[in-house]
Structure 1
Amino acid sequence: MMSTDKGASSTNNPLEQFVLLSKNAKGAAAVELVKQVISTPGVHVFGELLSMPNIMELEKGPNACYYHTLCLFAYGTYRQYLENKHNLIELNEIEKKKLQHLTIVTLATEMKCIPYSVLLQDLDIKNVRDLEDLIIEAIYSDIIHGKLDQKNSQLEVDYAIGRDTQPSNMGQVISTLQEWCDSCEAVLACVESQINRANVEKNRALKHRDAIEQEVINIKKTLKSQSQDTDESMATDSREAISQVGSDKTKKVVKTKGIRGSGKFWQK
């Protein structure tokens, strides 16, 4: 069970085993460790190893070129290797290709679409075919994600792994992060303002709706009251009309009987 966890840890962080070995590696052992780490596939960050005391000791001794080479893989580019070979160790083909891949990563942080002309110059490659093969290898190695735009002779980068940050650049990193935090706070304040405005409008709309509903209720009550008054008035008028009709009929009957009786009296 423990060996499985250790293996998983090494897989997730391939540099970790070199950091552990560096604790006891001095002199020639430290030099050999540097050789191994710059040629090992999957190791693309080296800052943690550079900070180990036994590795830092190489900078001031006869093996300083190994320390500088490790720094190159951590922060530098293939062009810098060509310009400073006298301070660095000679790289084999595997190490050169790895440094070229890391150079593409550095260029990807500066521009999303990298022209072939820039890549050919910075990677010291003579033809486009070899350049595209190198880019495809970097993509399959999951160092970058992107596509070759052969029509426009450029590499379109969607993603690139992160590289180590030099201590001298930490101020710039902090400044960038602070700007990002300030922007986030500004956006958050704007969002909160919009939320408050939306809540005010919502409450206003709810009050307006309640007022309309209450007005509708009042109108219904008024109409119902008016309808009841109208019905009562109509019923009263009907009763009065019926009463009047009944009275007229009674008067007519009485009048008729009175006339008939009077006639009979005179006949006698």
Structure 2
Amino acid sequence: MDIEQKQAEMIDHFVKQASSLKGSAIAPLVLEATSNPSLFAFSEILAVPSVAELERTESATLLDTLRLFAHGTWSDYKGNMARLPQLVPDQILKLKQLTVLTLAESNKVLPYDKLMQELDVTNVRELEDFLINECMYSGIVRGKLDQLRRCLEVQFAAGRDLRPGQLGNMLHTLSDWLTTSDNLLVSIQEKIKWADTMSEADKKHRKDVEDRVEEVKKSLSLKVKVTPCKQADADFRGHEEMYSETGGVMDYEEDRSRPKRRRHPIS
């Protein structure tokens, strides 16, 4: 069972219980809820009418305790110990776990020095044991302990209840993200259109090149067919001339081989 499902079941359980209780009778439920190892969200319990009615009553500290666990940190508790009930060890552990989640909201690399200060931890070994055993094994945080850099690299952290006024900031952030996404989508569509245009131009160019190649092939084919005929004709004329010239030479040689006639003087 994942942490989200456990959360949902625990919230439903405590909301039903709180709805049936009034005044100081809610005190045991607050203690149980803020000590439960599977519960890290308290806004739904705070929204129960019988719990909200504790405001400005003798049991108002119960409401303050729930608010501390919904939005606060260990440092917040130390700064308001005078008006808050003393926490039991399970509550202290829970509030320190919630402190890590709050720190992870704004920074995904948490220095050991910062964590030790916020959690009242005196040495690195104690801090790493807490992060591994109470945060990672419980499933509220996933990350890597970098002993060389002395920090926790957060890969995942469970979300906490929204603080008063935080919803407006979140809506503004989501609105900015939506605007950026729309602009990115328009840019992507323009690039797709440009790519399609270039593809068509490339296809046309390729077709022109192929047509030109075919024309060259046809031209070369015609030249090959015509050239042998012309060559044969030239060879025939060459042989004819050779035989003609040879005959002339033979006649000339034959004429030279004949004995010359002596010329007798005419008496």
TM-score of the aligned structures, taking structure 2 as reference length: 0.78
Residue of structure 1 in register with 2:218 after alignment: 221
Partner residue of 1:183 out of 180, 185, 191 = 180
Residue of structure 2 in register with 1:40 after alignment: 36
Residue of structure 2 in register with 1:265 after alignment: none
Residue of structure 2 in register with 1:89 after alignment: 85
Decide which moves more: 201-210 or 17-26.
17-26
Decide which moves more: 99-108 or 56-65.
56-65
Partner residue of 1:58 out of 41, 54, 59 = 54
d(CA) in 2 for partners of 1:102 and 1:147?
Answer: 18
Q: 1:112 to 1:31 in 2, by over 3 A?
A: same
Residue of structure 2 in register with 1:204 after alignment: 201
Partner residue of 1:25 out of 9, 21, 25 = 21
Residue of structure 2 in register with 1:173 after alignment: 170
Decide which moves more: 75-84 or 192-201.
192-201
Residue of structure 2 in register with 1:259 after alignment: none
Deviation sequence 1:215-242 (CA, Å, 0-9, x none):
1122222222333344555677789999
Residue of structure 2 in register with 1:150 after alignment: 147
User: Post-superposition shift, 1:125?
Assistant: 2.6
d(CA) in 1 for partners of 2:10 and 2:182?
Answer: 37
For the residue of structure 1 that corresponds to 2:54, the secondary structure is helix
User: Post-superposition shift, 1:23?
Assistant: 2.6
d(CA) in 2 for partners of 1:168 and 1:12?
Answer: 24
d(CA) in 2 for partners of 1:10 and 1:128?
Answer: 31
Deviation sequence 1:177-198 (CA, Å, 0-9, x none):
1121222222222222222222
Is the Cα contact below 8 Å between 1:47 and 1:164 reproduced in 2?
yes
Deviation sequence 1:161-183 (CA, Å, 0-9, x none):
11111231111111111121222
Q: 1:217 to 1:13 in 2, by over 3 A?
A: farther
Is the Cα contact below 8 Å between 1:79 and 1:124 reproduced in 2?
no
User: Post-superposition shift, 1:89?
Assistant: 2.1
d(CA) in 2 for partners of 1:129 and 1:233?
Answer: 99
- Unaligned 5+ segments in structure 1 are 1-7, 243-268
For the residue of structure 1 that corresponds to 2:152, the secondary structure is strand
d(CA) in 1 for partners of 2:17 and 2:236?
Answer: 116
Task: Give the partner amino acid of 1:19.
Answer: V
Partner residue of 1:192 out of 183, 189, 194 = 189
Residue of structure 2 in register with 1:254 after alignment: none
Instruction: Please report the RMSD computed on the Cα atoms of aligned residues, expressed in angstroms.
Output: 2.8
Does residue 100 (structure 1) correspond to residue 96 (structure 2)? The answer is yes
TM-score of the aligned structures, taking structure 1 as reference length: 0.78
Report percent identity of matched pairs.
35
Residue of structure 2 in register with 1:121 after alignment: 117
Task: Give the partner amino acid of 1:222.
Answer: S
d(CA) in 1 for partners of 2:9 and 2:191?
Answer: 44
d(CA) in 1 for partners of 2:157 and 2:222?
Answer: 78
Decide which moves more: 178-187 or 167-176.
178-187
Does residue 130 (structure 1) correspond to residue 126 (structure 2)? The answer is yes
User: Post-superposition shift, 1:110?
Assistant: 2.1
